[in-house]
Amino acid sequence: MTADLNRLQRRIARDFPEPGSAHGVELLLDNFVEEALGRRAHTSEAPRLQAAVVLLAAGDLGRMRKAIDLGLQDWRDLLVAAGLANADYADRLDLELGPERDDDASVGDLPDHGENQAIP
């Protein structure tokens, strides 16, 4: 899991604190990305689209549905509405989701310092 997804999960849990709500929001976001991007759903754009929905929703499911509808019409309009369309979108994500933390790195993201190299 990437650091952006970890940060987004924390934001979802904060914005949708009712028991089970965060999981339901994550499922909606996954379905949205699959529908909006189709075969490209697992590209680097997916977390940015999901973050755009969460930022526009601001903890309100009605607003989340509207953001998803906008993204299904044209995902680029969704990015513009959320302020994530420009080259500085990573700065906006840092502002909204907080900076990446050391515990955001998953095992696959950790640097390899030679410990995992095969011995001849």
- Global pTM reads 0.80
* pLDDT score, position 103: 64
- In 3D space, the residue among 6, 2, 1 whose CA is nearest the CA of residue 97 turns out to be 6
In this structure, how many other beta carbons lie within 10 angstroms of the beta carbon of residue 6? Answer: 18
Decide: 52 and 84 in contact? Cβ < 8 Å. Answer: yes
- Which of 20-29, 55-64, 86-95, 105-114 has the lowest average pLDDT? 105-114
Domain ranges of the chain: 3-97
Grade residue 2 by pLDDT with cuts at 50, 70 and 90.
Answer: low
CA 49/CA 51 separation, integer angstroms = 5
